[in-house]
Amino acid sequence: MTILFSLYASYTGAMMLLRSIIDDLLPQSFRTYIYDTFYYLFTPPNINSTLIIDQYINNMSPNQVYEAAEIYLRTKINPQNERLKVSKTHRQKSISFDIEMGEQIHDTFKNIKLQWRCKENNNRDEKLYFELTFPKKHKNTVMSSYLDYVLEQANEIKERDRVVKLYSTDCYGYDSDGGGMWGGINLDHPATFDKLAMDPEMKKMIIEDLDRFVKRKEFYKRVGKAWKRGYLLYGPPGTGKSSLIAAMANYLRFDIYDLDLASINSNSTLRSILLSTSNRSILIIEDIDCNGGSDTGLTLSGMLNFIDGLWSSCGDERIVVFTTNHKDRIDPALLRPGRMDVHINMSYCSFSGFKLLASNYLGIKDNHSLFGEIEGLIQRTEVTPAVVAEELMKSDDADVVLQGFVNFLKQKRVNEANEVLAVKKEVLVVKKGQTKKDFVTFSWD
């Protein structure tokens, strides 16, 4: 037994020394050749199958399977891999690692052991390719299931890591990734549902509706409806409509297309712009009660056809978000389900919304001694989340900020009372033969 251990130690040491010499003295292409030779010499014949996955199809079109494998194999890199490629673009949030040519990546799928290796074929214009080797008896499983699994995983990774974009026709030419008439920039808005000062039940409803929508591709196909969803966000300015849209985009990893209907001069222009948007996107139409009309050349029928007519089916997995400060001014024909499926009232800040903002801005996780007084005041005062956020930014001292916010709410109550009294005086109508009218007593306590 001692002799066997000695022989094994000598063999291992010799192999390590040989590999060190090869790595230090020989070029990469020659090292790959030597390793491949050893691999084939010491692998029993006729037990493995190998698939070749070229980077390009017919030396022209990118091979989707190659691209998917490149993305997927990044998740399989481990400490045993000695040579890696390191890179980062200005759009990436973190450094990425890729396997170097000749390096092996091992994977397991349904208890099948698979080996990947990236290679370069000088006989084919130096095109790269992946070599996938596995036991021959599992060939059907690999070809029918494993490659599809790699494609699915790669798509999930791309969606999770991709940079969300904000497109506008006003930015045309700046970044044309959106195609057509759109130009865009990276959406760096930090809004998430966790940070939105909204009613918790309302947020839960929106998240569940979004999750249900993106999972129902086959349902929409089966019932013969375009795979899209319409939302109407209505309420006073400053109630968080833009932040909610950004949170939706960040949650779904959907690009945003901001459409200004005032710049559309005809129904045909609207159709052209719609066709140039991508799938898995959110299209915003702000101030829907103020846009469109005869002065722009865009008609109501054109708008309706865009929302739920034949042209609305151009593309999949689309969300259309309409915003307005005045829901009552919107044409009733636009409001029905199928056009605006979900109506969301963006109301004034509630106490639960205030506590979330206090946590975000001041780091207050528990109750504060002033919270009771603030709760009573905020329930009787119309104050938007934007105004609350502005008040909470006035100092780094939480006690100072909250006391200032209490004073702000009290003064706002006084101002609102005075405004109401002033309006009542202005609209007082003296009836015939009447010289005096008593006012109803106003109380704001």
Report whether pLDDT(443) > 90.
no
**Contacts of 358 by beta carbon, 8 Å cutoff, 6+ apart:** 364, 368, 392, 398, 402
pLDDT tens-digit readout, 209-237: 999 999 998 998 898 888 889 999 999 99
- Average pLDDT score, the chain: 81
pLDDT tens-digit readout, 50-78: 999 998 888 778 899 999 999 999 888 87
Give the span between the Cα atoms of 278 and 47, in whole angstroms.
46
- Choice among 194-203, 223-232, 419-428 with the minimum mean pLDDT: 419-428
15 CB-contact burial (10 Å; exposed 0-12 / middle 13-18 / buried 19+)? exposed
pLDDT tens-digit readout, 31-50: 666 655 665 565 556 688 99
List of E strands, 143-267: 165-168, 183-186, 228-234, 255-259
**Site of tokens 């005086």:** 425
- Choice among 190-199, 302-311, 430-439 with the minimum mean pLDDT: 430-439
Report yes or no on whether pTM surpasses 0.75. no
Report whether pLDDT(175) > 80.
no
pLDDT tens-digit readout, 260-293: 887 777 778 888 888 888 888 999 998 887 655 5
**Contacts of 277 by beta carbon, 8 Å cutoff, 6+ apart:** 167, 178, 179, 180, 182, 257, 283, 315, 318
The mean pLDDT value for 191-202 works out to 92
How long, in residues, is the chain? 445
Band (309; pLDDT cuts 50, 70, 90): low
Q: Which of these, 79, 42, 281, lies nearest to 178 by C-alpha position?
A: 281
**Site of tokens 């003296």:** 430
